[in-house]
Structure 1
Amino acid sequence: MIKVKKDNFFLNEEVNTCLNNIIKNKSFANGYIFYGAEGLGKKQTALQFIQEIFKKSSPSKNLEEKIKNNNHPDFLIIEPDSLLETKSSGGSDLEKKTKSGSEIIKIAQIRNIKTFLSQKSINSEKKIVLIIDAHLLNEAASNCLLKTLEEPSNGIFILLTSKLNLLLDTIISRCQIVRFRSFSSQQIKSILKEYLDTSKSNINAKLEFEDLINSANGSPNQLLKNIEIWNDFSDEIIIKLNSPVKNSLEILEISKLISEKLEIFQQISLVNLIQTVWWRKTKNIGLVKKLEKLKYLLRKSIQPRLAWEITFLKISMEDI
């Protein structure tokens, strides 16, 4: 039985009910698409789903660890190429490259699936393939995957995506879609309360809870990331970021600190949080647009420190 663990905020009750019914009835489709915004626990849920499928056919020692470490003989995980290239370079580099927009899933990786499925399963009735960020399949890889899905096999495909519209319609039509919906504000509030009850970290007193909730965009994962990022700064910096910065020297100081302290993906999360706080205080649409432009520049990796400085300086010249 898939359970929502108390220490794991990501798993979705509605999705888990659906997947438990599939396991109980052994009514496995050839393919599943786990679709929803980033940070809703698609990968965590997929790994638990895979674990439960294997448990039913062949319980074994250290099953959870084998799946987590991708060393189960009947399980194959396909990740975008840049993820594979940066595995040895540490977590922050991995995250940074994943968000850079240069990652792709190539046809050679899909051909590996065909080889994997052609071999007899060792420990289980089914072989399972998990494809991370399936929307990053290039054209050749997409067509190859489609042919693989059309061929009879003893495999189950699970595709994870936040961008369903980028998948081939013919791939979508051959899979069962499992929708991950964003959490409501009330659910995010409950998660925040549970985090505060179980965490040793204290949320900076200068930050409104509503700002944390709104900036999470219905994602528990994003909520916790925002808390970590915000708590990483001193009270002095937090106070300055609570409203548009006007002092030129402070702008240079804060821009330098942010660009040195945070990876690009963390900086974008910080912009989202600042945007929420400043909108609540100013209701200035021009300010919001400037922060949107900042996010665009950060995603393009255009000199982050300079991007922060220019944005803050432009905002400081407005009558807010």
Structure 2
Amino acid sequence: MELLFSNEMGVTAALQNRLRQGNHPSLLWVQPTYQYQGQRLTAAEAAEKGLKRKAPPVIRLEQIREITEFLSRPPLEAPRNVVVLEEAQTMAEAAANALLKTLEEPGQATLILIAPTLESVLPTLVSRCQRIPFYRLDAQSLAVVLTQTGHQEILSNQAVLSIASGSAGSAIASYEQLQAIPSELLEDLKKAPASYRKALELAKKIDKDLDTEAQLWLIDYLQQFYWQQWHQPSIINQLEQSRKYLLSYAQPRLVWECLLLSVCSIVKAS
């Protein structure tokens, strides 16, 4: 088994290209999914349908069972079957436990789990895998990659670069997400709400215009942007707490109301 920990999207490009050409009979690529009207949809498929998502996608127990079924057959066009689990940290505990036996006895197969950090995956999974880290690019190398791929405009956005943490793929994905945020809303959020009423209006607009996944990304962006602007640890802590509330399925509008009212108070007091 191989456990790959990387936040670099480019690591998987070759295998993804092979899948786009037609599923390889000895390769199974597993992505986190949403449940919608009896169907499982990846993030890309949900975006194409214009679905407003209330929670991040996860790797589900049913997908782990499909892995077991896939590996019950011998490889057809390769010496071994290969299973790739993208964003392995999104597995719920039940799904992760169901994967344990397969990791222990994979047969003629290699399983690759991709996650952002070692700590984000259950220790029981980590203990059964070989860790292969992918390190961040330095600033110069990142600039070269972004320029060569036609994304040099990202280099002027320090908040996006900070979110990317040396990953060209993450930088590109974050920049694309940034473009999807309504510009007027983003400009209003870049400065502290001028009043409590404005804070409540912004919270209402965020809840109306953005799904939960976009709101979670916005938390990351505001953490970077606000730190560069005000260097207030209390604001960063409030944002981190808001992320936890959103992941716990708290009512998003209420989460943003509390957050923006707090930001307004902290900035006014400083």
Residue-by-residue CA offset, 1:209-237 (whole Å, 9 max, x unaligned) = 22332233333333233323433455544
Aligned to 1:76: 28
Residue-by-residue CA offset, 1:59-80 (whole Å, 9 max, x unaligned) = xxxx75213xxxx322234455
Flag structure 2 segments of 5+ consecutive residues without an equivalent: none
Question: Kindly tell me: are residues 208 and 81 of structure 1, through their superposed partners in 2, closer, same or farther at Cα, counting changes over 3 Å?
Answer: closer
Aligned to 2:212: 264
8 Å contact kept, 2:137–2:167: yes
State the Cα distance separating 1:312 from its structure 2 match.
1.0
Amino acid at match of 1:44: T
Aligned to 2:46: 91
Secondary structure of the residue that 2:131 maps to in structure 1? Answer: strand
Aligned to 2:138: 184
Aligned to 1:148: 105
Q: Distance in 1 between matches of 2:10 and 2:98?
A: 22
State the Cα distance separating 1:313 from its structure 2 match.
1.2
Deviates more, 1:180-189 or 1:301-310: 180-189
Residue-by-residue CA offset, 1:129-150 (whole Å, 9 max, x unaligned) = 223344526364143223423x
Q: How many residues are matched? A: 259
8 Å contact kept, 1:35–1:42: no
Alpha-carbon RMSD across the aligned residues, in angstroms, is 3.7
Provide TM-score, normalisation by structure 2. Answer: 0.74
Deviates more, 1:117-126 or 1:278-287: 117-126
Amino acid at match of 2:194: K
Residue-by-residue CA offset, 1:41-99 (whole Å, 9 max, x unaligned) = 27724725x95xxxxxxxxxxx75213xxxx3222344557569532894248894772
Question: Kindly tell me: are residues 74 and 258 of structure 1, through their superposed partners in 2, closer, same or farther at Cα, counting changes over 3 Å?
Answer: same
8 Å contact kept, 1:134–1:160: yes
Q: Distance in 1 between matches of 2:122 and 2:181?
A: 40
Secondary structure of the residue that 1:34 maps to in structure 2? Answer: strand
Flag structure 1 segments of 5+ consecutive residues without an equivalent: 1-30, 52-62
Residue-by-residue CA offset, 1:80-126 (whole Å, 9 max, x unaligned) = 575695328942488947726xx4553x7556545434434333333
8 Å contact kept, 1:81–1:104: yes
Question: Kindly tell me: are residues 82 and 222 of structure 1, through their superposed partners in 2, closer, same or farther at Cα, counting changes over 3 Å?
Answer: same
1:281 aligns with 2:236: no
8 Å contact kept, 2:55–2:249: no
Amino acid at match of 1:121: P
8 Å contact kept, 2:200–2:261: no
1:164 aligns with 2:132: no
**Larger Rg: 1 or 2?**
1
Question: Kindly tell me: are residues 316 and 157 of structure 1, through their superposed partners in 2, closer, same or farther at Cα, counting changes over 3 Å?
Answer: closer
Q: Distance in 2 between matches of 1:121 and 1:314?
A: 57
Question: Kindly tell me: are residues 285 and 81 of structure 1, through their superposed partners in 2, closer, same or farther at Cα, counting changes over 3 Å?
Answer: closer
Q: Distance in 2 between matches of 1:253 and 1:246?
A: 11
Amino acid at match of 2:112: I
Q: Distance in 1 between matches of 2:85 and 2:233?
A: 39
8 Å contact kept, 2:136–2:167: yes
Aligned to 2:80: 126
Residue-by-residue CA offset, 1:258-309 (whole Å, 9 max, x unaligned) = 2222221221222222222222221111122112222222222312122112
Deviates more, 1:108-117 or 1:307-316: 108-117
1:65 aligns with 2:21: yes
Question: Kindly tell me: are residues 129 and 210 of structure 1, through their superposed partners in 2, closer, same or farther at Cα, counting changes over 3 Å?
Answer: closer
Provide TM-score, normalisation by structure 1. Answer: 0.65
Secondary structure of the residue that 1:66 maps to in structure 2? Answer: coil
8 Å contact kept, 2:34–2:46: no
